[in-house]
Amino acid sequence: MMRLPWFDYRAPKSIEEAAKILAWEGTGAMLLAGGTDLLPNMKRRHQMPGTLVGLRNIEDLKRVSNGNGLRLGAGLTLTELLAVRGLRDRYRGLAQAAAQVATPLLRNMGTLGGNLCLDTRCTYYNQNYEWRQAINFCMKKDGDVCWVATASRRCLAVSSTDTAPALIALGARVKLVSAAGAREVALDDLYNNDGIDYLKRKPDEILTEILLPKPAGWKSTYWKLRRRGSFDFPLLGVGAAVKTAGDGTVEEARLVLGAVSSHPLVIKTDSLLGKKLTDDAIAEIGETAESRAKPMDNTDMDLRWRKHVVADFVGYALRELRGDDMGATRLRIAKQLV
Amino acid sequence: MSGNGKIERRRNVQLRLNLNGEEAEVSFAPYKTLLEVLREDLGLTGTKHGCELGECGACTVLVDGTPVLSCLQLAVECEGRSVETIEGLARGNALHPLQAAFADHGGSQCGYCTPGVIMTAKALLGEEPNPSRDRIREATSGNLCRCTGYNQIVESIEVAAADLRTPGK
Amino acid sequence: MSTGKRLDVVGKPRRRVDSRGKVLGQLRFADDLSLPRMLHCKLLRSPHPHARIESIDVSRAEKHPGVHLVLTGKDFPIPFGIMPVAQDEHALAPERVRFVGDPVAAVIAKDEQTAGEALGLIEVKYQPLPTIATPEEALANAETRIHDYGEQGNIHRNQAYEFGDVEEALAGSDHVFEDTFFYEGNTHLPMEQQASLAAVEGDGKLTLSSSTQNPHYLHRQLARVLQMPASQIRVIATPNGGGFGGKCDPANHELVVSKAALILGRPVKICLTREEVFYQHRGRHPVLMRFRTGVTKDGRLTGMHLQTLLDGGGYGSHGPASTFYTGVLTPVTYELPRFKFEACRVFTNKPPCGPKRGHGTPQPRFGQEVQLDKIAEKLGLDPAEMRLGMVTKADALTANWLKIGSTGLAECIRKVVEMSGWKEKHRKLPEGRGVGLACSAYMCGAGVSIYWNKMPHSGVQLLLDRSGQVSVLCGATEIGQGSDDVLAAIVAETLGIGTGDVRVHTGDTGLTPIDLGSYSSRVTVMMGNAALQAAGRVREQIVAAAAESLEILPGRVLLSQGRVFSADDSSKTMSFAEAVTLAESKFGTLGAVGSYAPPRQPGRYKGSGVGPSPAYSFSACVVETEVDPATGWITVPKIWVAHDIGRAINPVHARGQVIGGVYMGLGEALMEEQVFRRLPAKLSGALVHRIPSMLEYKSLTSLDMPEVEVALVEEPDPNCPFGAKEAGQGPLLPVMPAVANAIFDAVGVRIDELPITPDKVLAALQLKAEGKPPRIGPGSFPNVPYAKAMFVLPPWEGGDGNESTPQRAIAGAAGT
């Protein structure tokens, strides 16, 4: 039986109390939301916090409010998120991303905030202590080489969150709270392109809310590549959103790739603006995306193939937004309707 | 591989929960997950484990009615909550319709994934009494099975669903 | 008895006798056991793929609070191994480690957490040795020997046989097809991680309860390693949470906890982590294969030359048998006049390979069935018709002297052709969709035991008493396949009672007669025949006593549905329990034993013991695929399979076994692989399992598994109980080649290696677009120093089953 190391456990009832504990405990404390990312890592001795700060009892983290857009508590489980009224209609890309995270059981536990803060992943890193000992560890934990590319000076672990690409495409912002105060940042600005220092969240900050703008005129989608219909982290995520004029001309567009870099990779969409989503326009931006994607040999499946299919997946996403019926393709790829 | 916890911290903690409909109290090492406490401190070994990392579904139990992985559920976070395991399903000596269907229709071969998948199915049928075959596959897609190829698991759940929908059951 | 009579139990869908405990969570697997004063064990494993152990310092670990005992290699001087010719393992490595994960020390402590902490306090000094990662490296670096035994260098086993002059046959063929295939290794991935609990009982004897498929072989190895009389040891095979061959070998941890319990006088338990299960492995060998096959222009086989190269990993395991199995069953499916196979197994610094579902045969069957598809394509024949034209006939001999008993292969082919709509689909579906067909055969039990002896392969004991209770005892092990239910059903059918009236005790060397174990699909046939004999003997006593009381002839007594009665006069009847009481009064305490050993086989040459079986099962499979030509993405919407099971003892569960086999085969076809990562040699000698986790070792989920339509073909075999053959392994075998053939039908590319992944399909499609041969697979076959082939004449060329001299040698000698 894999077992957790010893730790102290705290269960604050409010965000303020949690922030105070973090401020007091410093880097020895870690936040525990759904536990589906942190606890396996602790069992494998990636992280061994002296104190776990359980967020489960903080009601405010579950709050959903509509107003000028949608505010989602970071503590909503992905299953609870999917039950938020109107989500599937108004923020379809987010719903499609959330519905494809891990498994139904893990979605009952894992939270939206947890998925956004998901530790970067790498097949040299997501291994038991003994396995990592056999390769003399890696720079992300206990070692100094990045085995993915030994000349690399930074860690190449992969950003593997499904919801971040979808949310960035939707223009989401997040709220971070510490004992010193609160701040809001664009979700895109939460991430660094670095497998170790992948979050700009400070150690004493709690990600409390996700803020979505009104969806007026926007349509969104999310496509996920993984080997199986369940369990697997993304090998590629495509979050896309477009705002079109009545005649289908693109006024604004956002395209974000997941799992091909250490951060969600935002692709410039200038080439789409002022055009209709023709096959040519889609192919052009698909090629751009493919050239920018840098999959490495540290997840599942062949890396050249993963790069090759970026254009195809971008195409699926944009054709769906154009109004094509992509149901059959979706079913073949996702193995379920999402 | 050793924890960096200090010796003085290493004391058992106390937990009260509603376990299969009965109030239960248990003392355990605080690093334990619900899986470990159920199996090792409460003697309920019906809940199985295949990875302890959330990668197989064998340890599925219901917490407040929701199927979760007990290997990733801190036991200290179950204070005052309701936990239902495979041992709580039968009524007296009579099998729950899901248990009967799995036994009769090949849903269980080696039996190791069985408790987890039955608990998942129980939650599904609680919310959706008449799920489609696709919906059953989707709902159970977090429970790996290496024996059955799933066909007879899906069929067993369909049989149980029909049985549970029959008035008088 | 097995024919003619209307059957009450056999062939009827039934709740399995062990399923109630399973669905209640009441059945106790090994890790569910606990005993008062129980301690917990963890193993320290090597972080080096190949190294000499210079020293081990356990002093800090021994002093850690809560630690009771630390064991190392010096505590286990006696080596072991499942096969008498490969006793090359130690419970804990004494001086050399041969793969990352090889156990070197054990800590026994008050709990697992403490034991795990203490492992970190053991200091081992290693002297790294050169790493051998592949068979090619093993052959090229003969001087870096992983073991100091074997044929030569790193060659563990070399086996070569020629049945008739194959070169002559190929020279006389209309076409000779030459193809090379690669089948990647993969592992069993049972849901249950291996666990064992050892305890010294009140009588001073050792009991080991363990998730083992083969308690008898484990019992022998325990006696050997612990240097104790076997009579002082009891092995209880707990119900296995899946085995698939992975729990056949005696395992390090089983020996370690037994030794620890004997030293400490306290129960000691271990449960492997999932990562450790990947190191225990004993799974599918990676095999490189070359086929040279001669055919006539109408598609009949003339001769075949098969070469195989097996990557064995760090130890022998079942390797000698695995090596044979890459050759010997090849001629069972189709008439093959002449056959030569050369097989070689090498050692590498990876977890040892061994028997996985189909043991050694899925690899060549994949190559053979894909090559047949290519032959049919080239000759313009329908693959199903071509196969139908050359299936082996009932009671025939093969070129290598295997005796086919019953065969339903032709019927299996006809069934899947009909169910799948093959004739409307093959070569007729639109681009991107296709169907593929393949067949196979498998043994119903290995004809000889793993160690040489003249004793039964299976024994069954029945105990009955005046309460009407029927207890059946057999050493066979329930690994999820349903053997307890088969045992109960055969006894119940014979005695005219229900399976619920039978109390089943299995897999306990202290209580049950010996059965060799749950491997080689032997249990239904061997245990079943032994049970049939025991039950028949008891039945005679019951019949005699009842006949006397009913005043009728014994020959007119029937037993059915819990009654014993006259065939002629329905008023002459009594309950089964009353009849048992009469029999106990007449004969004294009731009981009987039955035993079974397979019939002697016609092959007489050295090595002819591997391959013979009392019967063979046959399967045919059609797979439908959809392939996206832009990405190579593969979807399998449906699979049809027909399996000649002889007779289904319990059709619900027989169907479950078949679907389960198809599931595992589809996983092997599309994604399962036990693969390794080597770091840049300049920086590190590391060679690690790439993905030792449930998440990254990809097994199909419920969303990846299509619906499977099953036809059970019932061609009862006279050697088998009620005609019943195996279902646990055979149905897996045709799936992989059927997938490959379906992909060819869909997009016209050949993927000659497993697993078949979208990247390979896409690469082949790109070759096709460039006008190059649209094939992905191994390019060449290395120069393997095969042994000189033993020559045996096939039965139809005047052979007598012994080794003989080839005509070409005689002719050659005459010419000099």
Q: Is residue A179 very low, low, confident or very high in pLDDT (cuts 50, 70, 90)?
A: very high
Confidence band, pLDDT 50/70/90 cuts, at residue B3: very low
The predicted complex's ipTM stands at: 0.97
Closest Cα in chain A, distance from residue B127 (Å): 13
- Determine the Cα–Cα distance for residues C72 and C259; give it in Å rounded to an integer: 11
C128 shares contact with chain A (CB less than 8 Å): no
Point out which residues pair with B34 in neighbouring strands: none
Chains that touch A (3 or more CB pairs under 8 A): B, C
Residues in C closer than 8 angstroms to B2, CB to CB, are 116-117, 120-121
Last residue of a domain, one of C271, C301, C323: C271
Please report the residues numbered 98 through 117 in chain B whose beta carbons come closer than 8 angstroms to any beta carbon of chain C.
98-100, 102-106, 108-115
C234 neighbors C197 (Cβ within 8 angstroms): no
Write the CATH number of the domain with boundaries B13-88.
3.10.20.30
For residue range C520-530, list pLDDT tens digits in order: 999 999 999 99
Interface test with C, best of B109, B141, B155, B163 (most C CBs within 10 A): B109
Q: How confident is the model at residue C715 (pLDDT cuts 50, 70, 90)?
A: confident
Residue C639's H or E segment, with its range, is strand C634-644
Residues ≥6 apart with Cβ < 8 Å to C179: C290, C291, C293, C367, C370, C371, C374, C752
Residue A230, min C-alpha distance to chain B (Å): 6
Whether C192 and B106 lie within 8 Å, measured CB to CB: no
Question: Do the chains contact at C15 and B29, CB–CB below 8 Å?
Answer: no
pLDDT exceeds 60 at position C3: no
Same domain, C585 and C626: no
Residues C239 and C381 in one domain: no
pLDDT of residue C813: 56
Distance from CA of B167 to the nearest CA of C (A): 24
**Residue among A100, A130, A150, A336 with most chain C CBs within 10 A, to mutate:** A130
pTM score: 0.97
Same-domain check for residues C306 and C171: yes
Strand, coil or helix: what is A267? strand
CATH code, domain with C363: 3.30.365.10
Q: Which of C163, C159, C168 is nearest to C800 (CA)?
A: C163
d(CA C29, CA B39): 12
Two structure tokens written together for A139: 């720079």
Nearest to B49 among A1, A56, A337 (CB): A1
A8 and B9 within 8 Å at the Cβ level: the answer is: yes
Interface test with A, best of B51, B71, B74 (most A CBs within 10 A): B74
Compare C253 and B7 and report the one with higher pLDDT: C253
For residue range A237-294, list pLDDT tens digits in order. 999 999 999 999 999 999 999 999 999 999 999 999 999 999 999 999 999 999 999 9
The pLDDT-based confidence of C805 (bands split at 50, 70, 90) is confident
β-bridge partners, A8: A51
> Which residue of chain C has the CA closest to A146?
C679
Minimal C-alpha gap between B67 and chain C (Å) = 17
Nearest to A229 among C677, C680, C704 (CB): C704
Helix, strand, or coil (residue B141): coil
Using a CB–CB cutoff of 8 Å, tell me whether B154 touches chain C: yes
Mind telling me how many Å the CA of A322 is from chain C's nearest CA?
A: 20
Residue C425 within any structural domain of the chain = yes
Q: What is the mean pLDDT of residues C346-366?
A: 98
Give the nearest chain A residue to B116 (CA atoms).
Answer: A105
Do the domain assignments include residue C521?
A: yes
On whether both C355 and C428 belong to a single domain, the answer is yes
**pLDDT range class, residue B16, cuts 50, 70, 90:** very high
| pLDDT computed for residue C812 by the predictor | 57
Distance from C-alpha of A271 to C-alpha of A273, rounded to nearest angstrom: 6
How far is the alpha carbon of C68 from chain A, nearest alpha carbon, in Å? 19
Residues C582 and C622 in one domain: no
Does C58 share its domain with C95?
yes
Instruction: List pLDDT tens digits, range A46-72.
Output: 999 999 999 999 999 999 999 889 999
Percent over 70 (pLDDT), chain C: 99
pLDDT tens digits for range C700-713: 999 999 999 999 99
Q: Is C632 on the interface with A (CB under 8 A)?
A: yes
Q: Mutate which of A45, A131, A226, A279 to test chain C, going by most C C-beta atoms within 10 A?
A: A131
Residues C311 and C440 in one domain: yes
Are residue C557 and residue C610 in the same domain, yes or no?
A: no
Domain shared by C376 and C472, yes or no: no
Choose the final residue of a domain: C271, C293, C322: C271
Residue ranges making up the domain that contains C460:
456-596
Contact C191 B146 (CB under 8 A): yes
| C464 belongs to a structural domain | yes
Q: Alpha-carbon distance A60 to A23, whole Å?
A: 19
Q: B67: which chain A residues are within 8 Å (Cβ-Cβ)?
A: 104-105, 108
Cβ atoms within 10 Å of A69's Cβ, excluding its own = 19
pLDDT at A95: 98
Q: How far apart are CA C703 and CA B140, in angstroms?
A: 9
Residue C432: closest CA among C219, C198, C629, C616: C629
**C409 in the same domain as C306:** yes
Please state, in angstroms and rounded to a whole number, the distance separating the CA atoms of residues C646 and C569.
34
Which residues of chain C have a CB within 8 Å of the CB of B99? 23-24
Do C245 and C394 belong to one domain?
no
Statement to judge: residues C379 and C326 lie in one domain: yes
Position B10 pLDDT exceeds 80 = no
Q: Do C659 and B149 touch (CB under 8 A)?
A: yes
CATH of B97-164, one of 3.40.50.2000, 3.10.580.10, 1.10.150.120, 1.10.274.10: 1.10.150.120
Question: C704 touching A, CB under 8 A?
Answer: yes
Say if residue B4's pLDDT is above 50. Answer: no
* Residue of chain A whose alpha carbon sits nearest to that of B48: A1
Contact B68, B81 (CB under 8 A): no
Quick one: three-class SS letters along C347-416? CCCCCCCCCCCCCCCHHHHHHHHHHHHHHHHHHCCCHHHHHHCCECCCCCECCCCCECCCCCHHHHHHHH
Is residue C781 included in any domain, yes or no? no
Domain total for chain C? 3
Tell me what the pLDDT averaged over chain C comes to: 97
Judged by a CB distance cut-off of 8 A, whether residue C702 touches chain A is: yes
Q: How many CB atoms lie within 10 A of CB C585?
A: 11
Residues of B in contact with A229 (CB under 8 A): 141
Domains of chain B: which residue ranges?
Answer: 13-88, 97-164
A-C Cβ pairs (cutoff 8 Å, strict)? 90
pLDDT higher than 60, residue B7:
no
Mean pLDDT of C40-44: 98
Query: Which residues of A lie inside 8 Å of B (Cβ-Cβ)?
Result: 1-9, 11, 32, 34-36, 39-40, 43-45, 48, 50, 52, 54, 56, 79, 102-106, 108-109, 129-130, 229-231, 336-337
Whole-angstrom CA distances from C635 to A103, A302, C417, C628, C767 are 20, 18, 21, 9, 21
Question: CB distance B52–C273 less than 8 Å?
Answer: yes
* B136 pLDDT higher than 90: yes
Q: B101: distance to nearest CA of chain C, Å?
A: 9
CB atoms within 10 A of CB C500: 12
Structure confidence by residue, pLDDT tens digits, A9-19: 999 999 999 99
| Last-in-domain residue among C239, C271, C303 | C271
Are the beta carbons of C168 and C740 closer than 8 angstroms?
A: no
Does a structural domain hold residue C24?
no
C801, part of any domain: no
| Whether pLDDT at A99 is above 50 | yes
